[in-house]
Amino acid sequence: MSLRRILVVGLGNPGEAYRNTYHSAGNIVLEALQKRISATQPPFSSERHGKKSTLASIGPKYSFLQSPSIMNVTGPWFAKAYKEHLVENGLRPAELGVVLVHDDLEEELGVVKIRDWARSHRGHNGIKSVNASLRADPEGKRARVSIGIGRPTEREKASVSDYVLSKIPRHARGIIEEKGGAGLLGALMDLEKKWEAS
């Protein structure tokens, strides 16, 4: 069964205080990609998805959603939004590609990597929550795309938490947007080819 749509969900914390933090890199890169392909992908606007007000950009092929939930409890909303997307678009799981875009402390700033859906969450609470809420489906086409945000010198839990919730300096944000936007587009194209061939 051929792929008909791709649902791309960015992870981050809601609210203006957290929009420009490292933990919201998934959403930042999703916005950067929308600008790159704005000829076919409309600007983000507030819509209802998964029973919550969500920043969304629904194009002819891609549905971009920015998670409106606090990172650590993203899963229940994600599962609802996924199921809604199947029903409202008349799709079977095999016809909908799902991509989760998230920050990654283990990669250099702006580095984009495709990750297997079942690969270790490496302590990322947003991924843990999604995995706990979205059941495995043998027909499902799913992948994660990680965005490197670097890591603080100190590796204690408190230092890491402070780092991911800290404001991104302008120069670093520019790198995340430029490299991340281009990298995410390339990743989506690679995944689409892989899924179409499977």
pLDDT at 190: 97
Q: How many CB atoms lie within 10 A of CB 93?
A: 16
Instruction: Tell me if the pTM is above 0.75.
Output: yes
The answer to which of 37-46, 72-81, 149-158 has the lowest mean pLDDT is 149-158
Is the pLDDT at 1 greater than 80? The verdict is: no
Q: Measured between alpha carbons, how far is 95 from 1 in angstroms, rounded to an integer?
A: 7
Q: Measured between alpha carbons, how far is 21 from 17 in angstroms, rounded to an integer?
A: 8
The residue extents of the domains of the chain are 5-197
Q: Measured between alpha carbons, how far is 106 from 121 in angstroms, rounded to an integer?
A: 11
Band of pLDDT at residue 122, cut at 50, 70 and 90: low
Length of the chain: 198
Q: Which of 23, 85, 102, 124 is catalytic?
A: 23
67 or 134: which leads in pLDDT: 67
Is the pLDDT at 74 greater than 90? The verdict is: yes
Strands of the sheet containing 112-116, edge to edge, are 45-49, 52-58, 62-66, 5-10, 96-104, 141-148, 112-116
Structure tokens at 96: 């909908």
Query: What number is the average pLDDT over the span 161-187?
Result: 94
Is the pLDDT at 121 greater than 70? The verdict is: no
Contacts of 121 (CB under 8 A, 6+ apart): 127, 128, 131
Structure tokens at 83: 């199921």
Does the annotation count 85 as an active-site position? no
5-197 topology per CATH: Rossmann fold (3.40.50)
